[in-house]
A and B are shown apart, each in its own frame.
Chain A
């Protein structure tokens, strides 16, 4: 089917399935909403309050009407979702990854924490106070939920608390920064409002409005200089001095600011880098707040799209899509192109425009992001760049997808997407370099969570060049899925047999290997289940004809299958089924890798029986 025919078919499909909207229909819809709001005084009051007519009313409203306190997620012990991403070197090669490896080996395991439901869909401001992560705001320009309070999470005790309601709408795009005693927030979309939150007294104080034009649909950023807050939005820069409770303005920058700007504080300069893709190649700028003067930064040798900008203490790193960047020595105005040897395997569907970065003091940590939510996506990766040696390290899998905020919180790294992912404490101290025999490059160890919170996890180690299914390959099976791993992208589902990964088996090529593990639940004893073999070597040959796995395939789909095993076994009280499918021309090396993967399984005793 050529491109024209394909386009024509999609156009036909959409034209027929989706009736055009008319102007009258759209306008009438808004009028009906207005009428409904007028008929509901409470909603009308809310709208009026959010429009700023009586802003304070909305914050007192819950108390007036006796509403339940805003929800906070159940406080419970965190659940580790990702096992230590273990970096290893191929056998027989000299260590490629110098001192970063022992340091980054501390980035082991991530605690996944639910956000309060009211924040999960937004982009709240997040600051680290030294003991708590305080999150506030982030809702949309429509003002929905703008009166909801923020929340604070204490990693040491794994507990949430609501914080006092703020005296300003929690619109998206606000800037937030920790000053050492307060969280200052300012300048959400369409607003110049500012306020400061003191976690000790759990109270807010209103600040004078920032002298910045309210920027609709734009994002503000802020830095703390040690004595003042500098706020940047698409219209300018302003500075807030806490002791005098006053703002000051600065001269207009030499180039227009963007709707989105990356900012960094170097100790004496505020670096502002417009990052909107549509702006093209615009250079960064630096403001000296002491003198109030701006200067343009020199053009970088590489122009990354949608870059992140971080200050290392010595240099400015500007790094973005597609996996390229440079470092700027601000004193010499000289750029150094960063190593392009970013160690990402072919299986990485990295979305470089939506990376998340954070500077740890020694390394630039990058979470690659991924493309969309395709079922055959591989996990995003975690990389580390060490400027001193201009070298990248593949740390392992990242816990977050695209568009996450990243920050350092004490001795933890925190990512915020629709949840918080917090590394275990102590990631900076030394740890042993973990090594293992590897075939095909770096290994990662993935902790497969239990089917429920009562079930124990299973660890599996596999080469990162393999594909791990991003979701359940048998979503309609009614039995617990553990993992799917293959030498090719794995599709979920399949229309013929719900309990078999039919689509994944269909896609198997002659050179491929596919492994699939499902759990039939904890078993009281080895009732009819063979114990796990000491090694799976020698098991991955032959075809188990007559099994469901074989019968679910049509004759015309079996041509690539050289071996198919459907093996029940018991391990640690778990009743497990292993499906191993080997292509007719699969290499000995891939089969050996499959054996090594299966032998790597670490099955813990079930937490219940």
Chain B
């Protein structure tokens, strides 16, 4: 069973790992490579984890490892495909700020991953840092710059 999200986490079975890590890994990779390639990379990375679960289960940071595998896969896929961070007009959704999706696409990849992990998934900075394999202070910096950028791009007082 999971012992926690921010500290060392252990899953007895791949199914337990998948139940918790799937969304985390998918969101982060989608933030990096767009909705299509990111989801594909997440699927392949998790498939890799399924195949090598006995080894990966013993790692200190399995989700971080799977995320890194997904990064490699995503990079390869992105070379072959056009990566789009914007799928359809967001104006179709009445509750979402027009331009939010495009504004997110303007962020640097690191900023976007940090924003998605912290704001869409509700992770703490420490949890996001663990997945991204950076320091919590780096996550904090990513977030501050991302929100400043979004405020400028959207012309609204985001996140205050």
The chain A residues found within 8 Å of chain B, CB to CB, are 1-3, 6-7, 9-21, 23, 25-27, 29-30, 33, 121, 140-142, 216-217, 259, 277-278, 305-306, 321-322, 349, 351, 353, 371-377, 491, 507
Contacts and interface: CB of A to CB of B under 8 A. Distances in A.
14 contacts: A1-B156, A2-B160, A7-B120, A9-B96, A13-B96, A13-B101, A14-B120, A18-B39, A21-B39, A23-B18, A26-B46, A277-B134, A351-B138, A374-B107
A3 B160 contact: yes
Contacts of B138: 321, 351, 353
Interface range, B side = 35 or more
B45 to A, nearest CB: 9
Given A13-B101, A373-B109, 9 more contacts: A3-B159, A10-B104, A26-B50, A30-B48, A30-B51, A142-B72, A277-B133, A305-B137, A321-B135
Interface string B134-156: 11011001100100010010001
Contacts of B108: 371-374, 377
A7 B118 CA distance: 8
B72 A140 contact: yes
A18 B35 contact: yes
B60 interface: yes
Contacts of A372: 107-111, 142
- Which 7 residue pairs are nearest across A and B when measured between Cβ atoms? A372-B108, A30-B47, A374-B108, A7-B119, A372-B110, A11-B120, A10-B120
Given A217-B59, A371-B108, A29 B120 contact: no
Interface of B: 15, 18, 22-23, 26-27, 30, 35, 38-39, 42-44, 46-48, 50-51, 55, 59-61, 65, 69, 72, 75, 87, 90, 93, 95-97, 100-101, 104, 106-111, 115-116, 119-122, 129-130, 133-135, 137-138, 141-142, 145, 149, 152, 156-160
Given A121-B75, A322-B137, A278 B158 contact: no
B contact face: mostly helix, strand, loop, or mixed:
helix
Given A21-B22, A305-B135, A322-B137, A11 B90 contact: no
B157 A1 contact: yes
Contacts of B46: 21, 26
Contact of A14 (B75, B111, B116, B130): B116
A11 B23 CA distance: 11
A494 B23 CA distance: 34
Contacts of B130: 278
A349 B130 CA distance: 22
Most chain B beta-carbon contacts within 10 A, residue among A20, A259, A277, A377:
A277
B22 A20 contact: yes
Contact of B135 (A2, A3, A353, A376): A353
A606 to B, nearest CB: 34
A142 B47 CA distance: 13
A371 to B, nearest CB: 7
A142 B48 CA distance: 9
Contacts of B121: 11
Contacts of A18: 26-27, 30, 35, 38-39
Contacts of B48: 30, 142
B61 to A, nearest CB: 7
Contact of A20 (B23, B93, B120): B23
B129 A277 contact: yes
B75 to A, nearest CB: 6
Contact of A10 (B18, B116, B134): B116
Given A217-B65, A372-B110, A33 B47 contact: yes
A32 to B, nearest CB: 9
Given A2-B160, A6-B158, A13-B90, A23 B15 contact: yes
Contacts of A23: 15, 18
Contacts of B101: 13
A216 B134 contact: no
A306 B135 contact: yes
B57 to A, nearest CB: 12
B128 to A, nearest CB: 13
Contacts of A141: 69
